[in-house]
Structure 1
């Protein structure tokens, strides 16, 4: 049975995301030199500064991306927030190859997995900690080129939205979520239904 938090009916581990019938949106933060070229050419590796050999982490949660990047102000390497669309099929292909990382040492077979998953505390728009978890998905060198060149449908720079959210919660840290959604500063994320076999892989049950 899915573990639920004590003060919420939200399951402890659950994927929430912006998606439509064809695609799901995930987020990453990059330097200007990588992001500008990526949007212009619709390819993450358009800039030679993008390194395929590094583990790259994608996040379906907008608020967690805001926390990780400080609304894009944390440092120059995270100064641009990109919204990246993938088809559901390819997103689930990623998840099917994942190993959930819990901080313990890995066996050789576990290290061979090309995708890593971490479940970290979800955040509010003002970056407060919530009692349930948000998924972060790490793509290793073994799969990075396929993901970059074949599995990305579109790339959009949404940095201005991040900065707008920062200003909104600075003015009123208790501003209701529905107000931020209506203003276009927070995506209207919904529960992303995961097939049963992937729920087992992701330790959601």
Structure 2
């Protein structure tokens, strides 16, 4: 049974894949350079998501304006966990914080935000368990760009193929193209910080 608050991701011993959707000029420059370069901006928060299906729902399978290109960004697990260790949830969850005042104080000076949103099925149905989004503020995004990123791949052709399979009712063929995701192990301390269930 899937836990309500757990990270599911494509990862190996040293790295984890997160997904982002961008307009073509940002995506093409990033893939060519194998790191984020202008017109990507390090002056604003960027959100990274290890759930492929969640991003498909958010970007409407790469059809939303400004989200036409889907990137798989492989980053170091050390960087990912560095971000999680500094995270504060976007709401004062009772299972994490002693009260609203504690949360407000922490959130006011946080450089990483974490939000748990409903996960979605391949056909777009809202599920009971949650998917994590991690927001990197301008105070830490340079670490993501310069130190953590290992590889950037353009998944847009695969996304279009999956979208066509789904449109034609070939759900299992679309499912076969999904990136592999499994539960990501967290220390008890990290799990408590982000409001996840320890694995």
The verdict on a shared fold, with TM-score over 0.5 as the criterion, is: yes
Task: State the 1:110 CA deviation.
Answer: 1.8
Normalised to the residue count of structure 1, the TM-score between the two structures is 0.87
Aligned residues: 189
Match of 1:56 in 2: 46
The equivalent residue for 2:138 is 141
CA distance in 2, matches of 1:97, 1:65: 23
The residue aligned with 2:147 is 150
* Other structure's SS at 1:52 match: coil
Gaps of at least 5 residues in structure 1 are 1-8
- 4+ runs deviating over 4 angstroms: 103-106
Given candidates 155, 162, 166, the residue that maps to 2:163 is 166
Question: CA RMSD for the aligned pairs?
Answer: 1.7
In structure 2, the gaps of 5 or more residues are: 94-99
Q: Post-superposition shift, 1:125? A: 1.4
Task: State the secondary structure of the residue aligned to 2:139.
Answer: helix
Tell me the SS of whatever aligns to 1:85: strand
1:188 matches 2:169: no
* In structure 1, C-alpha distance between the alignment counterparts of 2:121 and 2:106, rounded to whole Å: 36
Q: CA deviation at 1:38?
A: 0.5
Report if the CA contact (8 A) 1:125-1:165 is conserved: no
Distance 1:172 1:154, change over 3 A: same
Q: Distance in 2 between matches of 1:193 and 1:103?
A: 24
